[in-house]
A and B are shown apart, each in its own frame.
Chain A
Amino acid sequence: MSTSPYRLPLALPRIARVERGSALAGVCAGIGKALGVDPTLVRLTFALLTLAGGAGIAAYGGAWLALPVEGEPDPSRRRRLLGLVVVALAGAFAIRGLGLADSIVWPAALCGVGLLLVRRGTASTTLGLLLVGLGVVAFVDQNAGGDASALLEPSAVAIMLVLVLGPWAWRLAAERDAERTARIRSEERSEMAARVHDSVLQTLALVQREAGDPKRVAALARRQERELRSWLYPDPHTTGDGLAAAIDGAAAAVEELHGVPVELVRTGDAPLDDRVEALVLAAREAMANAARHSGADEVSAFVDAGDDEIAIFVRDRGRGFDPAAVPPGAHGIAESIRSRMARAGGSATLTSSGEGTEVELRLPRPS
């Protein structure tokens, strides 16, 4: 970095004329894009500047000369130089229009062109510095008057120093910022690495060891996926303490316990109370039953938390069964689902056929 030619490290973004969304030659749209402001605002500024003796029109023309078209190579040096001079002149005229004295405006314009030249690199640096110097001397000369030659030297030197050293100080600050950004980035990276090591790499090691057991491998992959997903795409509901988080937990537990993936779809959320908790437990039992008994390789669950009621549907495409033929001693459906829902003031409906089973749980919400 220290070997690069001296350039003003002004953090100017690269400005280019934009062809899409342009009104005239794309100058305003380009400036707006580079600075991140609405092009209309830029256009308005140019229009206002036009009132100052036509400075806006001249500045626009200069910018048109100096700026490259987006995605194309820079215009020739000569053209850029001419454009910059025109812009600087227009700027000077505009500032004069604001009522500032000639003695400030013209030296400032000289300095401006000089600085822009310095910024462009080695070849024009000498010329640029010369112009800056000329500008500063003119400024001091004009404002101090002929009689205060004692004042001339120190103030001219001071201004020169500020103009030449200021950019260096600026660059140092910019470098420090860049270092900080790099450090933050590397910290983020090591946090990411730690996370990947703790979870993904461990899982991959397990997968290799248990490669002979497809069901176990699928369960491992599934658990890892869920974990990674909740980290990458955090869902505000999942981290909350409402129905959505509870049902996510129940589905995850069933997957873990029985090794069958549960495709869970939710809409809405509801606060958790005793009744809603009972609903979640009933849904968990229904999911576990489907995972354990249906023989299906996937269970679908849909949780619809509406304003009037919460409905949960648990469906599998397994072998199905005849609800009437379930022995009375079998606890699952009768106690864990039906009675629990009845006590909470809701209902449970079960349909089963050769094409699978669906349990429908409904719980009215108090209005």
Chain B
Amino acid sequence: MKRVVLVDDHDLFRAGVRSELGAAVEIVGEAASVADAVPLIRELDPDVVLLDVHLPDGGGQAVIAQVALERPGVRFLALSVSDAAEDVIGVIRAGARGYVTKSISGAELVDAVQRTADGDAVFSPRLAGFVLDAFRSGEAAVDPELDTLTTREREVLQLIARGYRYKEIAARLHLSVKTVETHVSAVLRKLQLSSRHELTRWAAERRLI
């Protein structure tokens, strides 16, 4: 069973997630602030940290920044009510493996946690939309490998944005699910490392770089 730490400053929300994840994962710890979360994650070394983007003392990015280097095995899945592009992009660039909104259903959340624990990327339709926007052509790429999406990656993202699940995408594009996952992970990597103008601007506004 996957060991999960839950970081969110709303007690009610944590209680809700706890009951929804229920038997599917083991929730080993909870924290309501950056200051509490950092030592807790260091100590518990969980598989997955469900991380609220907005925390009173610094936000989810601060947690990732302080933990990621020491505990490379811990994977972060960001969870938020905020759909502002810079929040989404910001937390991904800080190192989260994916981003889901808090309106996600219990079953989908369990699936997303599992996927995160397996090292896959978790893209919600909205995140896919933001990425397509950020990588829209028209601007010269500095590093073509990192700054542009391949046709295949674009197709996969468009289908995610349309509400398709990985399995359906695989069937539609005549690929294996594994290949779809590989494409999504490649996009995540580009998202984290690319110096593309839009991404840099978002990150700079949030003082990430």
Contact = CB atoms under 8 A, between A and B. Distances in A.
Interface in B94-136: 103, 125-126, 128-129, 132-133, 136
Interface stretch (B17-25, B143-151, B155-163, B184-192): B155-163
Contacts, number: 42
Given A229-B83, A233-B83, A358 B161 contact: no
A266 B129 CA distance: 6
Interface residues of B, number: 18
Contacts of A358: 162
Interface string A259-298: 0010101111000000000000000000000000000000
Nearest to A222: B103
Prevailing SS type, chain B contact patch: loop
Interface string A234-266: 000000000000000000000000000101011
A154 B30 CA distance: 70
A302 interface: yes
A315 B129 CA distance: 15
A300 B83 contact: no
A309 interface: no
A313 B133 contact: no
Contact of A300 (B82, B103, B132, B163): B163
Nearest to B168: A355
Nearest to B164: A315
A299 to B, nearest CB: 9
B162 A315 contact: yes
A265 B127 CA distance: 9
A265 B161 contact: yes
B132 A304 contact: yes
Nearest to A297: B105
Interface of A: 225, 229, 233, 261, 263, 265-268, 300, 302, 304, 307, 313, 315, 317, 358
Interface of B: 81-84, 103, 125-126, 128-129, 132-133, 136, 138, 158, 161-164
Given A302-B125, A315-B163, 6 more contacts: A225-B81, A229-B83, A267-B136, A300-B125, A304-B132, A304-B161
10 contacts: A233-B82, A263-B125, A267-B133, A268-B136, A302-B161, A304-B158, A313-B162, A315-B162, A315-B163, A317-B163
